[in-house]
Structure 1
Amino acid sequence: MSKEKSSIQNHLNVLIVEDENIIAKDLSRIMKKFGYEVADIVVSGEEVITKAIQLRPDLIIMDVKLSGKMSGIEAADEIKKIIDIPIIYLTAYADAESIQKAKLTEPFAYIVKPFDEKVLHTSIEIAVHKHKIGKKLRERTLELEEEKKKSDVLIHNILPKQVVKELRETGWIKPREYKMVTLLFTDFQDFSTLSAQMTPNELVSELNEIFKHFDGIIDEFALEKLKIIGDSYMAGGGFPDESTDHAIRVVKAAILMQEFITERNRSSVYKWPMRLGVHSGNVVAGVIGKNKMTYDVWGTTVNIANRMESNGRVGKVNISSSTYNLVKDYCDCVFHDSLKINDKTKIDMYFVKSIK
């Protein structure tokens, strides 16, 4: 056995595609001399496609002109669509047209007969190494793409779609003032007393089931979930995309939330008495934080919406006069009280009875 062995792979399987018997046998001898194994010898393009799929060789050495109707270049093109195998052309055709056609199939080498054994050996070693590196690179690229998809899902769960887009395009989020939005707050009455009756697992399971359902309602009305603070759920509409129907969408979502809780309490072991408040006004919105970014809103509107909740009643949707003026043509509402905001300001409050 010759000392000239492969440094790439001790058991490299090579499929030889050559319709000249003498050259095919010579190639087989040389492959064994290099320390490679010959998977098979075939003479036509049609046959090499079948054998490539069946044998899965590590490398194909193929003539450009073969027996049958299909050329080596055409066969290589078909193989490339099905299986990833490095191909080396070994041919007597060195004209520009043949080489250009061969290039379209992206071969790992194009060697002209009569060939030099050392050149062939080097070409094989380079082809196998290049293919191996390319495969690892493609695998790593796919891994990175999967990681990016997971990151995209995660960041879209944290930040609104439009905010993510701005962050990627500019590298930061510019705070924005919105002249009119609608905010919603929920809170469970006597939460401390109720939670004390549950195990930690029961408490988290109950809240998770409720808030997941709320998430679905928020998505249904294209609203923005802002945060959960303890047992309080905060969401709103009219930001980051401005709209004219944010108030009615928030109110409709609020009604469904209360209906869900009421229905759930009928059969659940634990009853969750919930207040819900809604207010419309101006806010400033932006992103804060470094390692854990949060999209949030600030302003008097936030405080008033929170007070709409705390001054509401269990099972009711309590809205401010500001929200009432935006939805009164679409909802049946009833006045129930006025809330003193400061020494000079009072805000009327309404319970939403139904959608017209």
Structure 2
Amino acid sequence: MAEIEKASIIADVETLRRIAQTLGVGIAIVDPDTWEVIFENASFFNWFAPPENADAPLTQRMPGLKVDRARARLKEGRVYVCETETSYGGRKTPLAVELKPLPDHPSGAVVVECHDISKQKQAEYLLESYSKMAEKNAKDLEREKERAERLLLNIMPKAVFEEMKDYGTVTPQLFEHASILMIDFVGHTEMEIARDPAALVTELNDMFTVFDRITDMFNCERIRTMGDGYLAVSGLPEPTPDHAHNMARVALRMLRYIEKRNTAHAEAWHCRIGINSGPVIGSLVGVQKYVYDIFGPGINMASRMETLSEPMKITISESTYQLIKDDFQCEERGIFEVKGFGEQKLYFLEREHPKAR
């Protein structure tokens, strides 16, 4: 750059020097050939103070400046933008830097403009922090939602849960074809319960967990437990043509599990199982504490079957027998007076025929 051109630039700049020195923005004018700083205001000088050599070019004073890329963009008349960081006043200051040709000037000099972006970076940091916090809260909320759903699925069938989630309520339904199983343990006196209640509860929990797996295996639903009693149903909330067969298979496997368990434990448990097939009503009950329950004479008959059964035996009603008699071996017990139902023919369920499996 000719000396006369430099002098012209300096003369042009002098009129703005006093204004430029008061700006909070860093301003400098440099020679693009040598990167010599021709003019700089106080802010620019403070941010990019020269090293020992006071005439050091911009390339030595500004870290992060990619000279080749900057020169290529400036040659095309485009703006070169970058970010850098400088230390001044005992703290680090992030800066946004723009290099652009000096408008309408034959020398081709370059204007360097620097802005303190500390507040912008702080805002970005806060935004990122809030975003991470919101993401964490969303994940926590999703985990709580999944936990609540798991808890609800423990007290109601999946189809009922989906209806409640979609519509906020569950319509009571009559299921014409269902089979109900009731199982109860016998022989545990109040004295035994008082002696070691924790061990008793642990035993029941282990057995009920296995019962749940067995009912799931045959697409049956555990409705509730009552002390040491267990109630399950097949044929709802989705109709199942094989509801009686499924319930019979569940009962046989439950009995087999108890028998195997008793051979491995010092204390034996004995249960009575009753099964009945017939219509039931299923509905969600409760306002603050929800529970899915079933109602109707079919439940009462299943309860009577369990009461009239014998330890380690499965008693089924006539209605269940008629549905499974071709595929299961049953023993006729005779006529019994069943409370609320009069005289009824009852059967012991013994085993499933191999051909039916």
TM-score by structure 2 length? Answer: 0.69
RMSD: 2.9
Q: 1:71 — aligned with what? A: none
In the superposition, relative to structure 1, how do residues 271 and 27 fare at CA in structure 2: closer, same or farther (>3 Å)? closer
Unaligned runs of 5+ in 1: 5-15, 39-60, 62-88, 94-112
Secondary structure class of the residue paired with 2:312: coil
Q: 1:210 — aligned with what? A: 207
Given that 2:64 and 2:83 are in contact with CA atoms closer than 8 Å, whether structure 1 keeps it comes out as no
Superimposed CA distance per residue, residues 278-297 of structure 1 (whole angstroms, 9 cap, x where no aligned partner): 00001111011123211000
Q: 1:75 — aligned with what? A: none
Farther off after superposition, 178-187 or 256-265: 256-265
Secondary structure class of the residue paired with 1:36: strand
Which of these residues, 189, 192, 211, is aligned with residue 192 of structure 1?
189
Where in structure 2 are the equivalents of 1:326-341 lying within 5 Å?
Answer: 326-341=323-338
Where in structure 2 are the equivalents of 1:246-261 lying within 5 Å?
Answer: 246-261=243-258
Q: 1:141 — aligned with what? A: 138
Superimposed CA distance per residue, residues 2-60 of structure 1 (whole angstroms, 9 cap, x where no aligned partner): xx9xxxxxxxxxxx86524999999333x65693378xxxxxxxxxxxxxxxxxxxxxx
Matched, 1:27 2:54: no
Which of these residues, 146, 165, 179, is aligned with residue 176 of structure 2?
179
Which of these residues, 278, 283, 298, is aligned with residue 275 of structure 2?
278
The alpha carbon displacement at 1:194 in A equals 7.2
In the superposition, relative to structure 1, how do residues 350 and 194 fare at CA in structure 2: closer, same or farther (>3 Å)? farther
Given that 1:34 and 1:121 are in contact with CA atoms closer than 8 Å, whether structure 2 keeps it comes out as no
Given that 2:98 and 2:114 are in contact with CA atoms closer than 8 Å, whether structure 1 keeps it comes out as no
Q: 1:36 — aligned with what? A: 92
The alpha carbon displacement at 1:324 in A equals 0.6
Partners of 1:133 and 1:354 in 2: how far apart? 64
Partners of 1:305 and 1:274 in 2: how far apart? 15
Given that 1:286 and 1:297 are in contact with CA atoms closer than 8 Å, whether structure 2 keeps it comes out as yes
Matched, 1:117 2:115: yes
Given that 2:186 and 2:270 are in contact with CA atoms closer than 8 Å, whether structure 1 keeps it comes out as yes
Given that 1:184 and 1:250 are in contact with CA atoms closer than 8 Å, whether structure 2 keeps it comes out as yes
Farther off after superposition, 307-316 or 18-27: 18-27
Partners of 1:138 and 1:32 in 2: how far apart? 36
The alpha carbon displacement at 1:127 in A equals 1.7
Secondary structure class of the residue paired with 2:300: helix
Secondary structure class of the residue paired with 1:291: coil
Given that 1:18 and 1:24 are in contact with CA atoms closer than 8 Å, whether structure 2 keeps it comes out as no
Given that 1:179 and 1:283 are in contact with CA atoms closer than 8 Å, whether structure 2 keeps it comes out as yes
Secondary structure class of the residue paired with 1:139: helix
Q: 2:290 — aligned with what? A: 293
Partners of 2:83 and 2:310 in 1: how far apart? 93
In the superposition, relative to structure 1, how do residues 210 and 28 fare at CA in structure 2: closer, same or farther (>3 Å)? closer
Partners of 2:340 and 2:239 in 1: how far apart? 32
Partners of 1:124 and 1:254 in 2: how far apart? 68
Matched, 1:349 2:346: yes
What is the aligned length?
A: 272
The alpha carbon displacement at 1:227 in A equals 0.9
Hey, which bits of structure 1, 4+ residues long, moved more than 6 A? 21-26, 89-93
**Sequence identity percentage:** 26
Unaligned runs of 5+ in 2: 1-23, 25-62, 71-79, 101-110
Q: 2:73 — aligned with what? A: none
Secondary structure class of the residue paired with 2:84: helix
Which of these residues, 261, 264, 267, is aligned with residue 264 of structure 1?
261
Secondary structure class of the residue paired with 2:91: coil
Q: 1:53 — aligned with what? A: none
Given that 1:248 and 1:327 are in contact with CA atoms closer than 8 Å, whether structure 2 keeps it comes out as yes
The alpha carbon displacement at 1:317 in A equals 1.3
The alpha carbon displacement at 1:122 in A equals 3.7
More strand by share: 2
Farther off after superposition, 337-346 or 303-312: 337-346
Q: 1:321 — aligned with what? A: 318
Partners of 2:194 and 2:64 in 1: how far apart? 78
Secondary structure class of the residue paired with 1:301: helix
Given that 2:178 and 2:277 are in contact with CA atoms closer than 8 Å, whether structure 1 keeps it comes out as yes
In the superposition, relative to structure 1, how do residues 233 and 25 fare at CA in structure 2: closer, same or farther (>3 Å)? closer
Partners of 1:26 and 1:342 in 2: how far apart? 89
The alpha carbon displacement at 1:92 in A equals 6.9
| Amino acid corresponding to residue 28 of structure 1 in structure 2 | E
Q: Highest CA radius of gyration, 1 or 2?
A: 2
